[in-house]
Structure 1
Amino acid sequence: MRYLFTALTSYGSLGPAISLALQLQQRGHEVAFVTGPSMGPLLERAGMRRIPRGEKDGPSFIVEFTANPLEQARQVKHIEYALTQFSPDVLVGQAMAFGAVLAGARHKLPTAVIGLAASILPTDASLARMSPEFRAYQVQRLAGTLPYDEFLKDRYARLMESHDICCEMLWLPKRELPYSQSPLLGDLHLLQSVPELEGPEDVLPENTHLVGNCAWDFVAPDPDLEKWLDEARASGEPILYAQPGRVFNSPGFWEQLRASLGGKPVRVAVSIGRLDAPMGHVPDNFFVRGHVAQASVLPHARGVVSSATTSAVLGALTHALPLLLIPGGGGGEQSDLTLRCLAAGVAVHLRPADVTPESLGAQVEVLLSDADLRSNARRLQEAFTRAPGSAGAADLLERLGRERQPVSRAAAPTRKLA
């Protein structure tokens, strides 16, 4: 069979798609990719084909504009050009990027969606079972705050408004469907989580499958990083991995991180690709690159400091590392993942408005010293080890290609033997 993958232009978004594509390639299937040109070199290193936007290539699948109807329409046009070069049996899209599900509807192609590490849908069942702590949590938005359950419904309404505008632009019918049958999920939704983090599966839509971690990280030889890690390990000081860049429209926390931990008895590897301010002075105990491969640092780290993106949280939990989370507002998964990590006892957190060098430093002390955080992180690591992972997700993609209809959990195993 043939699979056409789409991906937003970020390492965290492209990695799971490459992981699944490699699984399918090993089974004799053909794969190709549609994403922005900035991801071309990474795909080439992974041995994957990228199809350009047209005879005159250009940007698409831009993270910052992903909820914009015009960007969604551009995604569809990029996919439709790709369909003239590569005839797929299945389209594989991503959460928060509707191009694949819209193109699938236009061309009657079965569509899978690679999800995040937390469900962002306000299903009736999930709202009914929401704990008081979840309901009380206030999500910061540019225009104030909302209780978490209201935020879920508000965010979904905004996403569907963008989706419906695209439907009008593309002459597709709008459908009034319950949350549990959301068109944003495609025919198969691969949620990168486990019940121990997400909660009971039965509150999720029937075509949502908890597959665990599907991450992939390209590790290029980096003598400077290897030297820094050697020196950090020899020092005996704890190593932290940090991702302080902007997420959607939320500011990063680089300035506070640098002021708090610079010159302190800790070593900090910083992946700073989406920095929203001048880098300025880099402290001697920091190692900073646009992209620092998690696979190189996390085996040696004691914790992770992040804005609660899927890639950072999954990287930490699959290495049994506790987290300090500073979730951005807006439409991403950061608040959802922060709440789940707090409930699982694997994280401490700060609201963006509360981040100062002093508060960040205090939470790092907790991150490094709290034995319960580390014990709970090991428990979740074991849960992710038992999950199907990329191989199990590829099984589901093969099933979608064979049956060409929504893939229900009822007849699909979601766990592998320990």
Structure 2
Amino acid sequence: MRLIFTSLVSHGHLYPLLPLAVAARDAGHEVLFATGDEMLPVVEKAGLAVETAGFGQREAFATILGPDARPSAADAPPESFYPVIGEVFGNVLPRRFVADLTPLFERHRPDLVVYESGNAGGAIAARLAGIPAIGHGFGRFSPGEIIDVINGRLADYAAEVGFAGVDLQSFGDPVVDICPESVQSPDFLAGANRIPLRPVGWSEPGDLPAGVAGRDKSRPLIYLTLGTAFGDEDVLKRAIGGLARIDADVVVAAGPTVDPAGLGDVPGNVRVEAWVPQADLLPHVDLVVHHGGSGTTLGAFGAGLPQLVLPQGADQFTNAEAVVTAGVGAQLIGGDATADAIHERARELLTGDAVRGAARKLAEEVAAMPSPAEVARRLPEFAG
């Protein structure tokens, strides 16, 4: 069977699809992955064939704001930027992906398209080509005002190409859902044709930071990251200041948006890296302090780890709320995320039996979800 996977051009949207894509290839299917040039090397390292489709979010925003614009929620109320976000994700990116995927589908004629749920262009292009398709979530489906704005613009584009009134949450397709049911959005669960899939962390190959693998396990290890898209030097400095005062070791992944050198000298129990193989690191960790990105949130769910969430944007706020509601962590938002507050909450989470028990229970739920290999065996039934 010929399969084409497609995702938006970012780590957080692409990584979640790779386990199923690789499992499908290992099951003997012909797999092609279509995304923007920036992410193609990541896919090639997974051993998958690639084709270019779409472009990155920076380029998409530049088509509206100009090449030198650097919009920031700090410059104005966040809701004032919603129309631009709606235009980018509800119109600019879908149009570009449809334009690029349409000839690609004509050349390869896949039996099934697997599109990442944030990539509406993949869903629409498959519909236009008459090819069966399924969605693939990248985390928890998070309703909210910004999603309503995006869907409003997307509805206009869908109507323009002949799909007025289509269900914009799933386009009527089955959806591979990597979020444990107990923490998934009730609104999504009520209407989705859900294909559960265990969230399997994906990291590019690399070595763990020195000292992690053979460390003294009686001393806690804290992992601090703000992800690949919303890194903030000031927030990281405050978090480092608070966490370093705990009798623990701290590994910091600065990510591509923060220069590690900008964090200055750090205490001796803190190690700063530009990047770490997160999926390999989490089994060694006792607490994750992070931004609330889907990959890190679900990775911590699977590893059974308490979480302190410092949300910065996008769906991170609803992910943080889900963490708190599930009893597996705490959140600190905006000005509340002081060094002192981070210190106190992290200490509480490292010693809280109830939180650790809830985290272990959630990890058991994740472990019971179908594996990528199991879901890959089901893919032919969705090809029609």
Structure 1 length as normaliser, TM-score?
0.76
Question: 1:162 is aligned with what amino acid?
Answer: R
Q: Which residue of 2 aligns with 1:339?
A: 321
Separation in 2, partners of 1:259, 1:64: 36
Question: 2:4 is aligned with what amino acid?
Answer: L
Question: Is 2:294 aligned against 1:310?
Answer: yes
Question: 2:239 is aligned with what amino acid?
Answer: L
Q: Check 1:120–1:261 CA distance in 2 against 1; reply closer, same or farther (3 A cut).
A: closer
Q: Which residue of 2 aligns with 1:37?
A: 37
Q: Which residue of 2 aligns with 1:116?
A: 138
Q: Which residue of 2 aligns with 1:82?
A: 104
Question: 1:213 is aligned with what amino acid?
Answer: P
Q: CA deviation at 1:301?
A: 0.6
Structure 2 length as normaliser, TM-score?
0.82
Instruction: List aligned pairs for 1:8-407, cutoff 5 A.
Output: 8-53=8-53, 59-60=55-56, 67=89, 69-121=91-143, 152=144, 154-167=145-158, 171-176=160-165, 181-182=167-168, 184-185=170-171, 187-198=173-184, 203-220=189-206, 222=207, 225-230=208-213, 233-234=215-216, 236-245=218-227, 247=229, 253-262=235-244, 264-275=246-257, 279-281=262-264, 283=266, 284-330=268-314, 332=315, 334-401=316-383, 403=384
Q: Is the 8 A contact 1:95 1:115 kept in 2?
A: yes
Separation in 1, partners of 2:130, 2:196: 26
Which 5+ residue runs of structure 1 have no aligned equivalent? 122-151, 404-418
Question: 1:30 is aligned with what amino acid?
Answer: E
Root-mean-square deviation (Å): 2.9
Q: CA deviation at 1:377?
A: 0.6
Q: Check 1:64–1:338 CA distance in 2 against 1; reply closer, same or farther (3 A cut).
A: farther
Question: 2:50 is aligned with what amino acid?
Answer: R
Separation in 2, partners of 1:86, 1:12: 26
Separation in 1, partners of 2:12, 2:284: 20
Q: CA deviation at 1:21?
A: 0.9
Q: Is the 8 A contact 1:240 1:301 kept in 2?
A: yes
Which 5+ residue runs of structure 2 have no aligned equivalent? 62-87
Separation in 1, partners of 2:259, 2:172: 37
Q: CA deviation at 1:388?
A: 1.1
Separation in 1, partners of 2:312, 2:59: 15
Question: 2:236 is aligned with what amino acid?
Answer: W
Q: Is the 8 A contact 1:219 1:296 kept in 2?
A: no
Q: CA deviation at 1:159?
A: 1.9
Separation in 2, partners of 1:364, 1:30: 46
Q: Is the 8 A contact 1:306 1:323 kept in 2?
A: yes
Single out whichever of 3-12 and 240-249 deviates more from structure 2.
240-249
Q: CA deviation at 1:351?
A: 1.3
Partner of 1:73: helix, strand, or coil?
Answer: helix
